[in-house]
Amino acid sequence: MSSDHANAPYYKVLAGLTFFTILEIIWALPSVGIGRGLLIGGLAIMAGIKAAMVGLYYMHLKWEAKVIWGVIAFPIVLVVVMIAGLLADAIGYY
């Protein structure tokens, strides 16, 4: 990791994380009445954005070496395959 992250926008990221957390809670309120697909899709996207913000800025992945990216890419691929397989079974496709 280089020292490029010395001026990373930590408090802007905190504001972003807080904003998306509040938005998620409002999004999930039954009274808002968002349809199931849009509801779950929206929540997944917002959680993904928040997780990416933590990974990129707080864990400094944005400034990290390619080898480190390789280390985390491996489980991500496995997770995608696992979730796809489990969901295919769970919804009765097979």
37-71 b/e (C-beta count within 10 Å ≥ 16 → b): eeeeebbeebeeebeebeebbeeebeebeeeeeee
Return d(Cα 65, Cα 90) in angstroms, integer. 38
Please state the closest distance from residue 40 (CB atom) to another protein, in A: 6
Q: Does 77 bind another protein (CB under 8 A)?
A: no
Residues that bind another protein (CB under 8 A): 1-3, 6, 8, 10-11, 13-14, 17-18, 21, 24-25, 27-30, 34, 36, 39-40, 43-44, 46-47, 50-51, 54-55, 58-59, 64-65, 67-68, 71-72, 74-75, 78-79, 82-83, 86-87, 89-91
